[in-house]
Amino acid sequence: MPRIPGLLERIQQPLYDRGSVLSTTTQLNFFQVPLGGGATAKTELDTNMDQGGSLPYPKNFELHAIRCVNAYSASLLDLPSIYNGAWFRLFIGTKNYLVVNLFMLSAGVGLEGLVSGSVSMGSAQNGKPDQRGIYVLAEPIDLIPQQNFRCEVNFPAALSLSSAATGGTNLSIYLDGFFKREVH
């Protein structure tokens, strides 16, 4: 099908990016390294950004909600320190659009249920595993093509993490909303 200039299709598709929290971490910047970039090349498990720090023309994104999801393998001992010891910033262009404590950005996903047998298992998320349990914006925010943006998770004080020796704790930021792309 040929390209139709100026016509964009709207699909429900989050933007996401992953970073790792270590004891030495003071700030994580999300959405800055695209697929294939970074010291260890990012894959689709890490991000769905085609371009670091902005959306390529003519892509747009209509942001409705934000969530922070930790890895299911995260140490249950580390999560309170991470969520209580950090704050989040959504920065677009030259302005802050949201600044909150990290614990405000609940995941809305998670493992729930019982384990039978003698297996010891533990997993935790910030909030209930329910898609409605996330930070929803009162008004959507448009991310336009070539507009720089980033999400930051900031740690003002050093963390004491049990997972430091194993490579840290992975955190992912999900921007929920509607992705707009060219119609072909």
CATH number for position 92: 2.60.120
CA 184 to chain centre: 29
The answer to whether position 115 is within a domain reads no
For 101, other C-beta atoms within 10 Å of its C-beta total: 12
In a domain, 171, yes or no: yes
Average pLDDT, stretch 65-75?
90
The domain of 23 spans 11-108+125-183
Residue 44 has pLDDT above 80, yes or no: yes
Do the domain assignments include residue 114? no
Position 111 scores a pLDDT of: 65
Nearest to 126 by CA among 163, 166, 158, 174: 174
Reply yes or no on whether the pLDDT at 177 is more than 60. yes
User: Across the strands, what pairs with 44?
Assistant: none
pTM for the predicted model, two decimal places: 0.89
Rounded CA-CA distance 66/173 in Å is: 7
Total of domains in the chain: 1
* Residue 112, pLDDT score: 60
The verdict on residue 91 lying in a domain is yes
In a domain, 92, yes or no: yes
Cis peptide before 80 (omega within 30 of 0): no
Q: How far apart, in whole angstroms, are the C-alpha atoms of residue 66 and residue 45?
A: 18
pLDDT (tens digit, 9 = 90+) per residue, 92-128? 999 999 999 999 998 888 766 555 555 555 556 777 7
Instruction: Specify if 3 maps to a domain.
Output: no
